[in-house]
Amino acid sequence: MNRKPLGTTNLEVPEVGLGTWAYHAGPEPLRRGLEAGALFIDTAESYGSEPVVAEAMRGLRDQVFLATKVSPENFRRADLFRAADQSLQRLHTDRIDLYQLHQPNPDIPIAETMAAMEELVNAGKVRYIGVSNFSVQQLQHAQAALRKHKIVANQVRYNLVDRTIEPDLLPFCAANGITVIAYSPLGREWHRLADGDPKGVLRTVAAETGRTPAQVALNWCLCQEPVVVIPKGNSIAHVVENCGASGWRLSREQRARLDREIVFRRRSPFEMLLRRSVPPGITQSVRRMTRWLPRGLRRRLG
């Protein structure tokens, strides 16, 4: 498993980790992923997967880079301390390697939140500070609120069909030593990538490289220097397949072909704000309904 630097630290992390959003397969697939070299697990207090992550890491904790997230309603100092302690208990550990703000919360001063994050680092409960779903401006404000430590990572959606971060956020992170942790690197669901690949270029490149289409899609993300990926796999087979995205690279020509042939979108700031304001239950209902729409319309609504 190849490794990449974590921000500007001296630490390197596996470039393929294990995502656990909507994860329901128990500890064994995660354990097999760890054994395959994906010694980087990402979870969150809101996922409900911290206990199964703890079970998967049993006996391997010192080898695993463990990341979790605090929910935005817990960004007040006292709430953040309590949330961190509860995550530590559920994860059966004495420290969180990367503690991330799950998404911005404009109702709580960022200075209060970041000061509390630094207190957690100083207390030894957290090693590194990260954020998730932060824009360039939000990253700048959060970093300016820190006195001693740096934000080392921003976890955002990035894949072949959703390249929203490419014009601004990706180059900003690369220039400022911030690792991009790509969630949903295979699309929120695989059919999203299939919808954007009407010519079957993923299958063609997979045949050329002797890899699978999923491995090609993940490797495309990894070709961006500051990017690591955390795909979810709800079976041992899928987890092991995802790990096979590391240790090799697409050629420049293959990357260019994927860039040219895959139909992708870049979401506007307004659309991203609107999506965050919609209750999760409504969002999930809309996703289920869009499966029955024609491919072109699904792409526009995806």
Active site residues per annotation: 47
Q: What are the φ/ψ torsions at residue 12 (nearest 5 degrees)? A: -115, 145
CA distance 70 to 133: 13
Q: Which residues does 252 contact at the CB level (< 8 Å), separation at least 6?
A: none
What DSSP designation does 61 have?
Answer: G
Q: Which residues does 173 contact at the CB level (< 8 Å), separation at least 6?
A: 139, 154, 179, 180, 226
Q: Is the dihedral of CA 54, 151, 133, 106 positive or negative?
A: positive
**How many Cβ atoms are within 10 Å of 53's Cβ, its own excluded?**
25
Do 125 and 95 meet the contact criterion of CB atoms below 8 Å apart?
Answer: yes
Q: Which residues does 282 contact at the CB level (< 8 Å), separation at least 6?
A: none
What are the beta bridge partners of residue 19?
A: 42
Do 52 and 82 meet the contact criterion of CB atoms below 8 Å apart?
Answer: no
What are the beta bridge partners of residue 68?
A: 99
Do 267 and 162 meet the contact criterion of CB atoms below 8 Å apart?
Answer: yes
120's torsion region: left (phi>0), alpha (psi -120 to 50) or beta? alpha
